[in-house]
């Protein structure tokens, strides 16, 4: 089973993913391939120039990272963001005028081709919900060099895109929304996942 942890930059995905993988027996953590992305720092400096290259690169790296752990055959694989999340960043770039409609169409064609492969998309998504103020403070606190040029308006737009998407997710997507305004516990987060699978997604 693949469970993706989703949310805006700084929400705490990586921290929760690593903790879940350490806490849950027979599980693995597929790390987000951000540090390997050769375009990310350039993207925040010149978004319009590097948006398409950055988004395609991270999408391909993510698919390769998922494929690389498939042979382990773990009961649970925790994905530190998924291809769905990658696409939300591309949507944000398009909506802000950073990526042209033509470039977005190219990205979307790559997205469809990559996600057509079995196992790339998750079986369920845990959406960590937190306000833009909260995640902005966390981004500032972790002070990653590649995020130094990130603008607050951009992060606000990413948060809005996430909220709109998970308010009306695609039919069939299994989503567990977890309040992460303040960091929660691993036990509490995993309990919500187990409950969702036990009761059936969307059931009262």
Among 41, 99, 35, 32, CA closest to 59: 32
Q: Does the pLDDT value for residue 183 go beyond 90?
A: no
Segment 71-83 shows an average pLDDT of 90
Whole domain around residue 143: which residue ranges?
2-199
- Residue 204 inside a domain? The answer is no
Q: What is the per-residue pLDDT for 204?
A: 40
pLDDT band at 34 (very low <50, low <70, confident <90, very high): confident
Higher-confidence position of 202 and 117: 117
Where does 46-184 show beta strands of DSSP type E?
A: 76-80, 124-129, 175-179
Instruction: Record the pTM.
Output: 0.91
In what order do the strands lie in the sheet containing 27-30?
27-30, 76-80, 2-6, 124-129, 175-179
Rounded distance between C-alpha atoms, residue 118 and residue 63, angstroms: 10
- Beta strand 175-179 with 2-6: parallel, antiparallel or unpaired? unpaired
Rounded distance between C-alpha atoms, residue 196 and residue 133, angstroms: 28
pLDDT band at 200 (very low <50, low <70, confident <90, very high): low
Give the domain CATH number at 87.
3.40.50.300
Share of the chain above pLDDT 70, in %: 97
Count structural domains, the chain. Answer: 1
Q: Does the pLDDT value for residue 161 go beyond 60?
A: yes
- Residue 33 inside a domain? The answer is yes
Residue 40 C-beta-side C-alpha neighbours within 13 Å: 18
């Amino acid at each position: 089973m693949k469970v993706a942890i989703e949310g805006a930059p700084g929400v705490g995905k990586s921290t929760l993913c690593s903790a879940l993988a350490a806490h849950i027996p027979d599980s693995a953590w597929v790390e987000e391939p951000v540090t390997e992305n050769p375009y990310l720092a350039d993207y925040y400096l010149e978004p319009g120039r590097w948006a398409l290259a950055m988004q395609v690169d991270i999408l391909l790296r993510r698919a390769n990272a998922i494929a690389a752990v498939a042979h382990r055959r773990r009961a649970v694989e925790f994905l530190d963001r998924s291809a769905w999340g990658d696409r939300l960043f591309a949507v944000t770039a398009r909506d802000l005028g950073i990526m042209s409609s033509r470039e977005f169409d190219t990205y979307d064609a790559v997205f469809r081709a990559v996600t057509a492969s079995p196992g790339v998309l998750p079986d369920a998504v845990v959406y960590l919900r937190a306000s833009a103020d909260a995640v902005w403070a966390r981004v500032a606190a972790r002070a990653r060099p590649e995020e130094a040029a990130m603008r607050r308006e951009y992060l606000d737009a990413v948060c809005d895109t996430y909220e709109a998407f998970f308010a009306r997710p695609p039919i069939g997507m299994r989503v567990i929304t977890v309040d992460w305004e303040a960091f929660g516990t691993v036990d509490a987060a995993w309990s919500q996942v187990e409950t969702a699978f036990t009761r059936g997604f969307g059931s009262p």
